[in-house]
């Protein structure tokens, strides 16, 4: 998996350090990494390639600022370029009154739910919305919209015995006007962009209701398909905006870039949850970070600089490299990290770790580890090898925990150390490569305490 | 088995698949043109375009490059064969089959993220098993989404499949329990449980799934006997993450991949199988009830690489 762009770039760009300027030769390798990261985030092949070209042009000739690593500098260029591309065009939703909006999209992309969310959003802005059910195919789609409309408190129009979608749309419009509604939203059936009869149908609906906004509702996790979907829909029924749904999942959302790049249609909303309130206007910045798997590197670096003593970090990195790492160092690290905030909030900022599940379970485990180490004598902490049965029993008792938890900790610690030792040896290089491929941390990534020293700050 | 092959082609015919285009570019019409560097680039693009991801794409490319090194006369068709073979090797044992039941009722739970096609798949599966001479019963455990009940009810009425459902907002586990009881009483031999869509990173919703399991195990400690993840075939690499988390939290036994009738190639299923070794039981190739078909590795691989047309022409 390609989780961690900054790390990958870090290794690809190591040779850049000490050079004054970015040149074509010395960034070739790193841009290859960027390309792979984009592809791993589901950005479409051609879109990724064109994007890399743009980044290359922008990067060339730039001075490598000494204080930041070149890797981070290039990441910043990429990030800014990405945000610029994602945010291009008006992401503003029209404020016309009266207003008509047509939804479009594949099956299961979330059109009906989004329609209700948008109605709620517009109601808050002072509109009086009505939703019109134009999905006559999916069983109970009309019921679903009606239920949601009631929930949101907006007017609803649907016809259960007609299949004539344009006529339903037209009558819905008339009806809503008569009710005094000034924002009329048309929910449509999910359809494949290549299904000609259904595309024709939606064209006729468009001609009947003359929408001010035509929104393509797309799943943020779409794969390479996103380009075909957006392009074909846009050709058939010119779009005015893209809506990305299910962005509250952990997808990287590269589809957004693909859709934006091929259609130039602005992204206008994000669906961020199951409740009708969960609608967000679009921020190009955040999505750019997400696609790159960057997390919020900037604030992490700032936080780390505030709290971690640089000499201490260096000493730790050195120890790790010599595989001379004991429980005392482990405790120091854990505490340094603690100072930065809750585990969950830190994880979110670490590139590639953002999607790691850090719940109460992990927080608790970290606390337990700390309690166990604190119950060890300094001698035991420095030399875990002397931990025999009776020592273990005493430590577990002291921490108020079970002996098996201590055993698990010791085992993981041994694995980690072993890993460091191997890293040192000839096999190290190969292993590093493998690890990067898998994006995993030593010990299965469930050993959060081992992180800070490895941040390489 | 006309079905799968024909359906797949039907599905693929709806468009001009970029995949096939790439191969025609490489080798004329799957034929005689000799490969060159530009063709390999196109091939790489096509492989990514199928959502195979970096790993599988690299595997296929490196095999083709290897062959190319020893044989400069390598043609497009040869490359396609190599690619299909790599895919078949990777997907060896990826075919899931469930034709005969060993429990009564055999319980299948369908889970997945929102909009992946669980409800539709549940209905289609029920029909498929009924048509094969079994007695299915459906439990509507999606008590969350507005009108989910009505949706599955409409399906079941249309297909004449018995259904156990409750009110919107009811406890999903309670519905599962009732459905289980009903299945026993009516001597159904396969119980299909449709569940609410949930994003895999929502802890509370994942807990609801565990509760369904606990409740079922009151009667049968091995229940549910099958937990299938329903995956939208047009989703990219995130479907691997979905599968990973659902598997870790709930323990999956297989996959159903839906919506392969569009232009997407469903390549992410290869990534899921590589990592989790979860067999793929069915693929959805259209909206009609009969469009749910057993997954066949050779058909999938051949269709993707355009080798099925080849056979036909031969």
Task: Provide, as residue numbers in chain B, all residues whose Cβ is less than 8 Å from the Cβ of A226.
Answer: 236
Check CB contact of B146 with chain A, cutoff 8 Å.
Answer: yes
What's the average model confidence in pLDDT over A18-24?
65
Residue A69 has pLDDT above 80, yes or no: no
Residue at B101 is within a domain: no
pTM for the structure as a whole: 0.75
B118 & B153 share domain: yes
Taking the C-alpha atoms of residue A400 and residue B68, their distance in angstroms, rounded to an integer, is: 64
Do B121 and B165 share a domain, yes or no? Answer: yes
Residue A79: predicted pLDDT: 83
Q: Tell me which chain B residue has its CA closest to the CA of residue A253.
A: B238
| pLDDT above 80 for A115 | yes
Cα(A212)–Cα(A358) distance, integer angstroms: 43
What pLDDT was estimated at residue A203? 97
pLDDT of residue A450: 35
Say if strands B280-284 and A99-104 run parallel, antiparallel, or are unpaired.
unpaired
For the cut 80, the answer to whether the pLDDT of residue A65 exceeds it is no
Q: How far is A323 from chain B (nearest CA, A)?
A: 31
Domain that holds residue B43: 2-94+303-313
Q: Is B286 found in the same domain as B194?
A: yes
Q: Any CB–CB contact under 8 A between B245 and chain A?
A: yes
By C-alpha distance, the chain A residue nearest B17 is A228
Q: What CATH number has the domain bearing residue B112?
A: 3.40.50.300
B251 assigned to some structural domain: yes
Does some domain include residue B100? Answer: no
Give the count of beta carbons closer than 10 Å to the beta carbon of residue A413. Answer: 21
How confident is the model at residue A198, as a pLDDT?
95
Q: Are residues B160 and B30 in the same domain?
A: no
Distance CA A169, CA A150 (A): 20
Interface of A with B in 342-361 (CB under 8 A): 355, 357, 359
User: Across chain A, what does the average pLDDT equal?
Assistant: 80
Q: Which residues of B touch A42 (CB under 8 A)?
A: 51, 236-238
pLDDT at residue A410, as a whole number: 87
Instruction: Judge whether B99 lies within some domain.
Output: no
Q: Would you list the DSSP string of A398-426?
A: HHTS-HHHHHHHHHHHHHHHHHHHHHHST
Same domain, B112 and B227: yes
Task: Say if B202 falls within a structural domain.
Answer: yes
**What's residue A17's pLDDT?**
54
How large is the average pLDDT for residues A175-203? 96
Whether residue B307 sits in one domain with residue B291: no
Range with the poorest average pLDDT among A126-140, A346-360, B296-310: A346-360
State the CATH number of the domain containing residue B12: 1.20.120.140
**pLDDT tier, A51 (very low <50, low <70, confident <90, very high otherwise):** very high
Provide the pLDDT confidence category of residue A382 given band limits of 50, 70 and 90: confident
Asked which of A49-53, A212-216, A442-446, B10-14 is least confident by mean pLDDT, the reply is A442-446
Inform me whether the pLDDT recorded for A29 exceeds 60. Answer: yes
Whether residue A36 lies within 8 A of chain B, CB to CB, comes out as yes
Interface with A, mutate which of B55, B146, B159, B266 (most A CBs under 10 A): B146
Same domain for B219 and B291 = yes
| B171 part of a folded domain | yes
Domains of chain A: 3-86 (1.20.120.140), 99-294 (3.40.50.300), 300-437 (1.10.260.30)
Query: Is residue B75 located within the same domain as residue B206?
Result: no
pLDDT at position A99 is: 97
Tens-digit pLDDT string for chain B (314 aa): 344 445 545 544 443 344 444 444 333 334 556 777 777 888 888 888 888 888 899 999 999 999 988 988 888 788 888 999 999 999 999 999 999 999 999 999 999 999 999 999 999 999 999 999 999 999 999 999 999 999 999 999 999 999 999 988 899 999 999 999 999 999 999 999 999 999 888 877 888 999 999 999 998 899 999 999 999 999 998 999 999 999 998 999 999 999 988 777 888 899 999 999 999 999 998 888 888 999 999 988 888 887 765 444 43
Same domain assignment for residues B50 and B111: no
Chain A and chain B share a number of CB contacts under 8 A equal to 150
Q: Are residues B114 and B65 in the same domain?
A: no
**Residue B65 is assigned to a structural domain of this protein:** yes
| A104 CB burial (10 A radius; 0-12, 13-18, 19+) | buried
Statement to judge: residues B117 and B77 lie in one domain: no
- DSSP assignment of A240-276 equals SEEEEE-TTSS---HHHHHHHHHH-PPEEEEE-SSST
Domain count of chain B?
2
The mean pLDDT value for A230-259 works out to 92
Q: Decide if A255 and B236 are in contact by the 8 Å CB cutoff.
A: yes
Cα distances from A51 to residues A59, A160, A448, in angstroms, run 12, 47, 34
Q: Give the 3-state secondary structure of residue A219.
A: strand
pLDDT at B312: 44
β-pairing, A99-104 with A183-188?
parallel
| In a shared domain, residues B36 and B181 | no
């Amino acid at each position: 998996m390609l989780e961690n762009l900054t790390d990958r770039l870090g290794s690809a760009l190591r040779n850049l350090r000490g050079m004054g300027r970015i040149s074509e030769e010395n960034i070739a390798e790193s841009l290859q990494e960027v390309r792979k990261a984009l592809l791993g985030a589901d950005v479409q092949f051609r879109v990724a390639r064109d994007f890399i070209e743009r980044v290359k042009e922008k990067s060339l000739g730039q001075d490598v600022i000494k204080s930041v690593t070149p890797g981070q500098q290039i990441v910043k260029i990429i990030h800014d370029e990405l945000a610029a591309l994602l945010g291009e065009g008006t992401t503003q939703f029209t404020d016309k009154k009266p207003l008509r909006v047509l939804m479009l999209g594949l099956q299961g992309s979330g059109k009906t739910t989004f329609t209700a969310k948008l109605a709620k959003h517009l109601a808050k802005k002072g509109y009086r919305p009505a939703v019109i059910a134009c999905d006559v195919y999916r069983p109970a789609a009309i019921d679903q919209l009606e239920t949601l409309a009631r929930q949101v408190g907006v007017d609803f129009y649907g016809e259960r015995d007609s299949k004539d979608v344009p006529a339903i749309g037209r009558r819905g419009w008339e009806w809503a006007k008569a009710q005094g509604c000034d924002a009329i939203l048309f929910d449509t059936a999910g359809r494949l962009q290549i299904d000609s009869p259904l595309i024709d149908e939606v064209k006729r609906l468009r001609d009947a209701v003359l929408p001010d906004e035509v929104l393509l509702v797309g799943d943020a996790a779409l794969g390479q398909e996103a380009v075909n979907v957006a392009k074909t829909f846009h050709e058939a029924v010119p779009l005015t905006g893209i809506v990305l749904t299910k962005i509250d999942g952990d997808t990287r959302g590269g589809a957004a870039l693909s859709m934006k790049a091929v259609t130039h249609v602005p992204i206008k909303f994000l669906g961020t949850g199951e409740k009708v309130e969960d609608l967000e206007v679009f921020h190009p910045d955040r999505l750019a970070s997400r696609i790159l798997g960057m997390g919020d590197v900037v604030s992490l670096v700032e936080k780390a600089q505030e709290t971690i003593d640089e000499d201490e970090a260096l000493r730790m990195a050195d120890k790790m490299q010599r595989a001379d790492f004991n429980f005392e160092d482990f405790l120091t690290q854990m505490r340094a990290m603690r100072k930065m905030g809750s585990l969950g909030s830190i994880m979110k900022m670490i590139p590639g770790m953002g999607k790691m599940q850090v719940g109460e379970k992990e927080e608790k485990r970290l606390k337990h580890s700390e309690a166990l180490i604190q119950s060890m004598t300094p001698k035991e902490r420095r030399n875990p090898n002397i931990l025999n049965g009776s020592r273990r029993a005493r430590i577990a008792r002291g921490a108020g925990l079970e002996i098996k938890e201590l055993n698990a900790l010791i085992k993981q610690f041994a694995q980690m150390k072993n890993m460091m030792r191997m890293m040192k040896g000839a096999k190290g290089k190969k292993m590093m490569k493998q690890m990067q491929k898998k994006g995993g941390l030593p010990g299965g990534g469930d050993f959060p305490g081992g992180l800070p020293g490895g941040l390489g700050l | 088995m006309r079905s799968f092959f024909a359906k797949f082609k039907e599905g693929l015919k709806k468009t001009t698949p970029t995949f096939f285009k790439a191969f025609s570019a490489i080798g004329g019409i799957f034929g005689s043109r000799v490969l060159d560097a530009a063709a390999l680039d196109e091939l790489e693009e096509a492989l990514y375009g199928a959502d195979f991801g970096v790993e599988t794409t690299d595997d296929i490319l490196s095999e083709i490059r290897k062959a190319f090194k020893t044989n400069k006369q390598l043609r497009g068709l040869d490359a396609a064969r190599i690619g299909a073979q790599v895919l078949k090797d990777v997907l060896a044992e990826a075919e899931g089959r469930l034709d005969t039941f060993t429990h009564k009722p055999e319980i299948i739970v369908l889970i997945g993220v929102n909009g992946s096609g669980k409800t539709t798949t549940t209905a289609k599966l029920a029909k498929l098993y009924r048509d094969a001479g079994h007695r299915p019963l459906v439990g509507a455990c999606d008590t969350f989404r507005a009108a989910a009940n009505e949706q599955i009810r409409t399906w079941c009425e249309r297909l004449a499949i018995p259904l156990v459902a409750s009110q919107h907002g009811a406890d999903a586990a309670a519905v599962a329990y009732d459905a289980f009881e009903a299945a026993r009483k009516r001597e159904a031999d396969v119980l299909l449980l449709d569940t609410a869509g949930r994003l895999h990173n929502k802890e509370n919703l994942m807990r609801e799934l565990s509760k369904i399991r606990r409740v079922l195990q009151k009667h049968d400690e091995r229940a549910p006997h099958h937990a299938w993840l329903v995956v939208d075939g047009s989703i990219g690499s995130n479907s691997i993450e979905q599968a990973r988390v659902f598997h870790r939290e709930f323990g999956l036994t297989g996959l159903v991949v839906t919506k392969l009738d569009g232009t997407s190639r469903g390549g992410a299923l290869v990534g899921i199988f590589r990592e989790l070794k979860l067999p793929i039981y069915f693929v959805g190739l259209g909206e009609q009830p009969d469009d749910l078909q057993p997954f066949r590795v050779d058909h999938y691989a051949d269709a993707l690489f355009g080798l099925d047309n080849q056979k036909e022409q031969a």
